[in-house]
Structure 1
Amino acid sequence: MGTSEALQEALRPGGIRSVYQPLVHLETGQILGYEALGRGPQDSPLEAPTKLLAAARPAGLLAEVDWACRTAAFQGALDADMGNTSTLFVNVEPDVAVEAPRQHRELLDRAGAELRVILEVTERAVISRPAELLRLVDWARARSWGIALDDVGSNPLCLALMPFLEPDVIKLDLRVVQGRPTAEVGLIVSAVMSEAERSGATVVAEGIETEEHLQAALALGAVAGQGWLFGRPGPLPSPIPSSPDTIALLRVPASPAEQTPFSVVRSARPLRQGDKRLLLGIATYLEEQATAWHDGPVILSTFQDQDEIEAVTLERYATLAGRGSLVVALGRGMSAEPAPGVVGSALPHKHRLSEEWSVVVVGPHYAGALVARQRKGTRIGGEERWDFAVTHDRSLVVAAGRALLRQVAPDEQKLDTLASTRPAGA
Structure 2
Amino acid sequence: MRINAWQSSLAASLVAMASGAGAVPIYQSNQVTLYMEGYFTAHMVNTMGDTQMQNGASRYRFGLNVPAYDAWDTGFNVEWGVNAISSAQNLVIQGDQQAAPGDRGDSIYLRQGHLFAKHPKWGDFIAGKQWGVYYEVTYITDWYNVSGGLASGTYALGTDGGVTGSGRADSALSWRKKWKFDAGEFQIALQYASHVADLEIEVEDIAGPDTVLICPPGDCEYGISHGISAVYRADIGDGLFLGAAYNRVKLDIQSENGLIFDTSGNEPVLIDNQFAFNASSNDWTSAIGAYYGKEAFAKGFYGAVVFQRSQNNELAPPGSVEGITNFFDAKGSESFFSYTWGTDNCYSVYAGHNYLVSDDPGFEAALVEGDRFKLALHFLGFQYRWNERVRIYMENAFDGSNEVAPEFIDDFVAVGIRIDI
Structure 2-normalised TM-score?
0.24
- Asked which structure has the greater RCO (Cα within 8 Å, sep 6+), the reply is 1
Higher strand proportion (structure 1 or 2)? 2
Higher helix proportion (structure 1 or 2)? 1
Structure 1-normalised TM-score?
0.23
